[in-house]
């Protein structure tokens, strides 16, 4: 294969030199920042030391006010709130965060996370299961935008549905109570890169203000930034803007997390006692629990009195090293052939489980396919690919 050619983006060397001298930082670092448009003293300081106060005000987020009104109504009336999340890292983290937050603020909460054999999305059967448990309000995380049948079913029987989702929105005809999604065409919130956990953080922070304004005690949502960082990195969300701030603070939270499952995973990855990096989370933590998040959900809660042996069992179950070794052995002949690209497929694994190992093994793997069964029983292939502009597509 031809050698890679690198073209360096031009930067104002005089500006980079002046900033490097002012801040006592390496000139090479300043050249990179200046080339990226970070070329003023204050913006450089903000970039290198991101603060939560720099986060975008969520006031312009479509349907946020309606969602908060309905959540406050549920608090005031003591209604039973069901929280449902998808089964990938972002879905589990955001659902655990919302469920735990609402519960600690005094709400009656039932948490339900999808199983892998149920497939992606929110289905009528899952909605009915929660309705049968007496749920009076449903909060969906990392799903809901395209699940109009299940959302409509819940609304028809009198259960309002709030969705906190970040998936692309087509023509907006949504039957639920409030769809909080930055990709809505009518959403003026400028930052579109949030994953569901990042979005949930914003909503819980806004809810805290509402609760305190009513004289209620509320938990500090910053306690959940470890989950936000975990989900943002595992979901391969862009590390710019608000995400960069959330991840910077969330990695600090991961270092001191009290969640037994996370502590055990950090130990398994030889990360205990030090602050994980974004690379650590994306390449070491993420693949290990992507394989069986259902077993891991009960250890998300920092108040869970899980004993060390239980946490160790979960950590062992979700350790993905055996999976990586298997793929490595099977792919070696193809990797050594120097092909320009590869397609990975597996009957029993979803995209989240297969993509991380693919990137680690091949470096140039662009397309991932997994089988799934539609509601009509039809066999489908789902996957993701990236093009040369670094745009990512799901289908």
Domain residue spans of the chain = 13-49, 58-223, 339-394
Please identify every stretch of the chain with a pLDDT value under 70, giving residue numbers as ranges.
1-4, 172, 288-332, 334-395
| pTM value surpassing 0.85 | no
Q: Are 155 and 179 in contact (CB under 8 A)?
A: no
- In the chain, the N- to C-terminal Cα span, in Å, equals 30
DSSP-derived 3-state class of residue 99: helix
Q: Using an 8 Å Cβ cutoff, are 249 and 226 in contact?
A: no
pLDDT at 391: 41
Domain 58-223 has CATH 3.90.1640.30: yes
Residue 278: burial class (beta carbons within 10 Å; 0-12, 13-18, 19+): middle
Count other Cβ atoms within 10 Å, centred on residue 175. Answer: 16
Long-range CB contact pairs, 34-39, < 8 A, 24+: 35/8, 35/9, 35/10, 35/11, 39/12, 39/15
pLDDT, position 166? 96
> Within 105-195, where are the H helices?
124-132, 148-156
pLDDT of residue 320: 43
* Residue-wise pLDDT tens digits, 285-304: 877 665 444 444 444 454 44
Residue 258 confidence (pLDDT): 84
pLDDT at 325: 53
pLDDT of res. 335: 62
């Amino acid at each position: 294969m031809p050698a890679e050619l690198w073209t360096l983006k031009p930067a104002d060397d005089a500006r980079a030199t002046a900033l490097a001298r002012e801040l006592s930082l390496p000139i090479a670092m300043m050249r990179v920042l200046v080339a990226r448009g970070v070329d003023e003293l204050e913006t450089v300081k903000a970039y290198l030391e991101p603060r939560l106060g720099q986060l975008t005000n969520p006031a312009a987020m479509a349907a946020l006010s309606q969602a908060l009104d309905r959540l406050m109504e549920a608090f005031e009336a003591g209604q039973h709130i069901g929280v449902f999340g998808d089964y990938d890292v972002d879905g589990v983290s955001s659902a655990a965060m919302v469920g735990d937050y609402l519960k600690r603020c005094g709400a009656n909460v039932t948490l339900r996370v999808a199983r892998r054999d149920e497939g992606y999305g929110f289905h009528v059967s899952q909605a009915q299961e929660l309705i049968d448990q007496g749920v009076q309000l449903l909060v969906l995380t990392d799903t809901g935008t395209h699940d109009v049948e299940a959302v409509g079913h819940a609304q028809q029987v009198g259960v309002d549905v709030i969705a906190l989702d970040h998936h692309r929105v087509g023509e907006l005809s949504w039957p639920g109570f409030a769809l909080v999604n930055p990709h809505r065409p009518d959403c003026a919130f400028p930052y579109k890169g949030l994953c569901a956990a990042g979005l949930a953080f914003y909503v819980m922070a806004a809810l805290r203000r509402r609760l305190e304004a009513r004289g209620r005690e509320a938990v500090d949502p910053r306690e959940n930034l470890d989950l936000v960082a975990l989900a943002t990195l595992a979901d391969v969300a862009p590390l710019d803007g608000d995400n960069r701030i959330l991840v910077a603070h969330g990695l600090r939270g991961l270092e001191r997390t009290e969640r037994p499952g996370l502590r055990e995973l950090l130990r398994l990855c030889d990360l205990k006692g030090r602050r994980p990096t974004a690379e650590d989370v994306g390449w070491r933590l993420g693949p290990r629990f992507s394989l069986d998040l259902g077993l891991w959900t009960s250890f998300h809660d920092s108040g869970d009195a899980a004993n060390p042996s239980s946490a160790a069992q979960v950590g062992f179950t979700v350790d993905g090293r055996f999976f990586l070794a298997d793929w490595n052995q099977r792919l070696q002949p193809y990797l050594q052939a120097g092909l320009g690209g590869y397609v990975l497929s597996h009957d029993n694994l979803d995209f989240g489980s297969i993509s991380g190992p693919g990137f680690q093994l091949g470096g140039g793997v662009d397309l991932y396919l997994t089988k799934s069964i539609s509601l009509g029983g039809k066999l489908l292939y789902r996957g993701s690919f990236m093009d040369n502009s670094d745009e990512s597509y799901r289908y």
